[in-house]
Amino acid sequence: MMLWDPLLLLLLLPLLAGSSALDCTEIPGSLRQIDASNGQVFGVNSAGSIYTLHGDSWAQVPGALTHVTVGPAGVWGVNKNNNVFKMVGGSWQAINGLLKQIDAGGDMFISGANMNDDIYCLSRPATVSVNSDATIPWVNIAGKLKYYSCGLWGCWGVNSADDIFFRTNVTPDPCAGSSWQNVPGKLSMIEVGTEGSVYGVNSAGEIYRRDGVTQSNPVGTGWTQLASYLCKGKHVSYDLGLLWIITDQDKIVKCRV
Domain ranges of the chain: 29-256
Q: pLDDT tens digits for 151-199?
A: 999 999 999 999 999 999 999 999 999 999 999 999 999 999 999 999 9
- Residue 36: pLDDT above 60? yes
Average pLDDT, the chain: 90
Distance CA 165, CA 179 (A): 10
pLDDT tens figures, 83-109: 999 999 999 999 999 999 999 999 999
Give the distance, in angstroms, between the CA of residue 124 and the centroid of all CA atoms in the same chain. 19
Tell me the residue type at 194.
Answer: T
pTM: 0.90
- 29-256 placed in CATH 2.130.10.30: yes
Predicted confidence (pLDDT) per residue in 104-135, tens digit: 999 999 999 999 999 999 999 999 988 766 68
The arithmetic mean of pLDDT across residues 207-223, rounded, is 97
Give the side-chain half-sphere CA count within 13 A for 182: 9
Residue 114 and residue 81: Cα distance in Å, rounded? 11
Range in 40-49, 129-138, 189-198, 206-215 with the lowest mean pLDDT = 129-138
